[in-house]
Structure 1
Amino acid sequence: MASNKPAPESPSRFVPEYGSDFVSGPGTAFTTDYGTAYGTDRGGEFGNGFRADEAEPDKAWEEWNPTEESVRPVRGKHRVAKQRNGLARSSTVLGVGVIAAVGAGGMATAQSKPPVSISLPDSISDNLPDAKSLPGVGALFSQAPESEAQQAEAELAAAPLTTAGITTAEAERGTTDAGEALRARILQQAEQQQGAADAEAKAAEEKAAAEKAAAEAKKQQDAAEAKIAAEKKKAEEEAKKKAEALRLAKLAASYAIPTSSYTITSTFGEAGSMWSSGYHTGLDFAAPTGTPIKAIHSGTIKSAGYSGSYGYRTVLELEDGTELWFCHQSSMDVTVGQKVTTGDTIGRVGATGNVTGPHLHLEVHTPDGTGIDPMTWLRARGLTV
């Protein structure tokens, strides 16, 4: 390995911290604690047995081979010493720079301690070398920490002091200020609460609108159902009336009024002394004597003859057992057991029996023998009396 020849030194204006005497100007000398003499005559020596002022090119130099035991490992690239304001970077200045750099590095790791201001005289601070340009020192600033502990320490030193309370998600988003993060959380919570309140109000409005719409729909449905029910009832009533009219029409086709050119003179149930029972038991059709009497419905002649106060009487029995009595006839045209149909002539109007004038006395008896109102019975069969 080739040795490095030291650069010639320029006169120094200060004394390193290792010395005790300092005299400025040419022709002067200062001594250190080690007894080394240095002056303008360049006769002094400094460290390791070589002279810093020997710059003759023909002088033989001893080869220097540093070892791990004698030299501390140096990281980074070796940089050539530079001249600054006429101050040579001698080994003495190098020692001061190393001490300053080591002190700065120690303070850089003390993140928990408050910073301390360090001031130097202008004459010294202006001539201090750049710590990053010193061999073996610049690597402390240029290279990243090698171990995980150094990496964590560097990240901790670079991290802001206000990250307390910041979540991982916020840190991933780039949030570094705890106060700003807290403010963002409060705003987010307020927005969430406002959103929940708005959603609740909207849900209440939608519910009220739905209830109102449901009530309106129910009202309309009830009205429609009521209208349909009324129309249905009306239709049923009309259908019933039509059915009854059809039934009466069919009955009317099979039933007939017993005589013509008549006048109703007495109805069923009238009270009076003229009748032995105290009231009228039939319906009287006043008509001229000899007016034909017709069979009201098809049936069988049950009896035909004279019957006291009824005069000449003919009894027509219908298929359901109902009996029709035709009284006060002047003559009879049928005999017992004879079958007759609707409209057949069975006799003539007269005034026989207990009467005051010619008329047809008609009585209706149910199968059990009870007398009922003949007018009601006739109208129930579609006949208009």
Structure 2
Amino acid sequence: MASNRPAPQAVYVPNDDDFGSYDEGSFEEWNPTEESVRPVRGRHRVHKKSGGGLARSSTVLGVGVIAAVGAGGIATAQDGKPPVSISMPDLGVVTDSLPEAKSLPGVGSLISGDDTSDTTTTAAAAAPLTAAGVSAADAEQGNTHAGEALRARIMQQAENQQDQADTAVRAAAEDAAAKKAGEEADAQRKAAEKEADAKAAAKKKKEEEARKAKAEAARLAKLAKSYVIPTSSYTLTSHFGDAGSMWSSGHHTGLDFAAPTGTPLKAVHTGTVKEAGWAGAYGYRTVLELEDGTEIWYCHQSSLNVSAGQKVSTGDVIGRVGATGNVTGPHLHMEVHTADGTGIDPLGWLQGKGLNP
């Protein structure tokens, strides 16, 4: 904002004593004209000389030159032109149209005698332009220059944004780590549960097998009391399914107990004698039918102790070991047939009854 020019000081007018003696006829009166005087702007003071008027001397010329310079231009004396009157503006009107000096930044403090100047306005006016926009926080941090303060704010904002980004990254990493840890813990828990279930299942299976084995042992023990091995003092020589030309079917169909002739033969279980007599290649044979329809064949006997239709109990002697029929020596040829007539392994059948020949 432009400020008004200071008012010119009062013109000093020297007296005759300052210049010594002079000749009045050697000087002409200087009268400014409209062409030689520029319009005057601003406030001007006109000094009125006390006394009767200006003397026509060199003093008058000096005063005119000084007045012309103060009015804004140098006037030149023009011969033969009429004088031009100069009108000065009313000082009060000009003053009223100007703003209050106190309202202008940096001006109120320059007016002497202004005791009502506002302290805040004075401090703001005295402050340099580079301090514009500097906040109290900036001042506390030592940033009193507007550019430095702006740079500091930008840097602070960038640091805050970076801190927020770092915090977000850390939070995301922590969430990912927590999620991964949770998944690993869940996987470990499931693996532990699966292993525990497998162990429990294995234990249960083992216990079930033990229970079944115990029950089977009890059953066989009970059966063993009701079943017996058909002879004693024997040696197993041929088993079910053995191949050989000595058997008409090409394989052995029973279990051979080699024993001395005359060794007693016993009923393996309670039943009824279905047949007792000569049977060709089997020699003397006894067929014992059990309650479930199973048939037990006793072959190659030397003698028979029962007859058809006779009921016997477990352990009863039904005949004796011999070598009758197609044989190579004394032995008991034992065969087992199911109710439908199918021949099965006698050794396995005896073991199923709790017996171990």
Task: Give the TM-score category using the shorter length.
Answer: 0.5 to 0.7
Q: Spell out, residue by residue over 1:46-103, the C-alpha distance to the aligned partner (whole angstroms, 9 max, x if none).
A: xxxxxxxxxxxxxxxxxxxxxxxxxxxxxxxxxxxxxxxxxxxxxxxxxx9xx99997
Q: What aligned pairs does 1:133-212 form with structure 2 within 5 A after superposition? A: 161-162=132-133, 179=150, 181-212=153-184
| Distance in 1 between residues matched to 2:322 and 2:223, nearest whole Å | 28
Query: Partners in 2 of 1:305 and 1:368 — Cα distance?
Result: 22
The answer as to whether partners of 1:255 and 1:342 remain within 8 angstroms in 2 is: yes
Q: Does 1:109 align with 2:81?
A: no
Select between 242-251 and 308-317 the one with higher mean Cα deviation.
Answer: 242-251
- Describe the shift of the 1:292–1:131 C-alpha distance in structure 2 as closer, same or farther (beyond 3 A): same
Unaligned runs of 5+ in 2: 1-6, 15-45, 51-90, 126-130, 139-143
Distance (Å, rounded) in 2 between the aligned partners of 1:318 and 1:203? 78
Deviation at residue 374 of structure 1 after TM alignment: 1.3
Q: In 2, Cα distance between the equivalents of 1:32 and 1:266?
A: 167
Q: For residues 32 and 243 of structure 1, do their structure 2 counterparts lie closer, same or farther at Cα, with a shift above 3 Å needed?
A: same
**Contact 1:302 / 1:336 at 8 angstroms: preserved in 2?**
yes
Contact 2:297 2:336 in 1 (8 A): yes
> What amino acid sits opposite 2:324 in the alignment?
T
Which of 360, 374, 382 is matched with 2:346 structurally?
374
What are the Cα deviations for residues 236-257 of structure 1, in whole angstroms up to 9, with x where unaligned? 4444433433333233222110
CA distance in structure 2 between the partners assigned to 1:273 and 1:186 by the alignment: 106
Q: Hey, what's the Cα distance between the residues in 1 that align with 2:100 and 2:325? A: 158
Q: Which residue of 1 aligns with 2:82?
A: none
Partner of 2:72: none
Q: CA deviation at 1:231?
A: 3.7
Partner of 2:36: none
Aligned to 1:259: 231
Secondary structure of 2:100's partner? helix
1:351 matched to 2:351? The reply is no
The amino acid of 1:341's aligned partner reads S
Matched residue, 2:79: none
Shift, 1:182, TM fit: 4.1
Amino acid at match of 2:257: F
SS of the aligned residue for 1:285 comes to strand
Structure 2 CA distance for aligned equivalents of residues 292 and 208 of structure 1: 81
1:18 and 1:32 in contact (8 A); partners too: no
Partner secondary structure for residue 158 of structure 2: helix
Cross-structure match for 1:286 = 258
User: Are 1:292 and 1:349, in contact at CA under 8 Å, matched by a contact in 2?
Assistant: yes
State the distance in 1 between where 2:301 and 2:109 align.
160
Partner Cα distance (2:270, 2:100) in 1? 142
In structure 1, distance between residues paired with 2:157 and 2:133 = 16
Question: SS at the partner of 1:254?
Answer: coil
Matched letter for residue 106 of structure 1: E
Residues 145-182 of structure 1: CA deviation (Å, up to 9, x unaligned): xxxxxxxx9xx99xx84179x9xxx9xxxxx9872554
Aligned length: 266
Alignment check: 8 A CA contact 1:302 1:315 kept: yes
Structure 1 354/183 Cα, relative in aligned 2: closer, same or farther at 3 Å? closer
Contact preservation (8 Å) 1:332, 1:346: yes
**Contact residue 298 and residue 318 of structure 1 kept, 8 A:** yes
TM-score between the two structures when normalised by the length of structure 1: 0.55
> Which residue in 1 is equivalent to 2:80?
none
1:295 aligns with 2:267: yes
SS of residue matched to 2:225:
helix
Contact 1:301/1:339, CA 8 A, preserved across alignment: yes
Instruction: For 1:1-385, list aligned pairs within 5 A.
Output: 106-110=100-104, 115=106, 130-132=113-115, 161-162=132-133, 179=150, 181-385=153-357
RMSD between aligned alpha carbons? 4.6
Q: Does the CA contact (< 8 Å) of 1:293 and 1:347 recur in 2? A: yes
Looking at structure 2, the residues matched to 252 and 101 of structure 1 have their Cα atoms a distance apart, in angstroms, of 144
**Distance (whole Å) between structure 2 residues aligned to residue 268 and residue 373 of structure 1:** 6
Cα distance, 1:302 vs structure 2 = 1.3
Distance 2:194 2:309 in 1: 64
| Most deviating of 347-356 and 233-242 | 233-242
Question: Is the contact made by 2:279 and 2:285 (CA closer than 8 Å) also made in structure 1?
Answer: yes
Q: Which amino acid aligns with 1:356?
A: T
Q: Is contact 2:282–2:326 with CA below 8 Å preserved after alignment?
A: yes
Q: Is the 8 A contact 1:101 1:131 kept in 2?
A: no
- Residue 287 of structure 2: SS of its match in structure 1? strand
| AA matched with 1:162 | G
Specify the code of the residue in structure 1 equivalent to 2:278. Answer: Y
Q: Cα gap change, 1:107/1:252 in structure 2, threshold over 3 Å: closer, same or farther?
A: farther
CA apart distance, 1:117: 9.5
Moved more, 270-279 or 308-317: 270-279
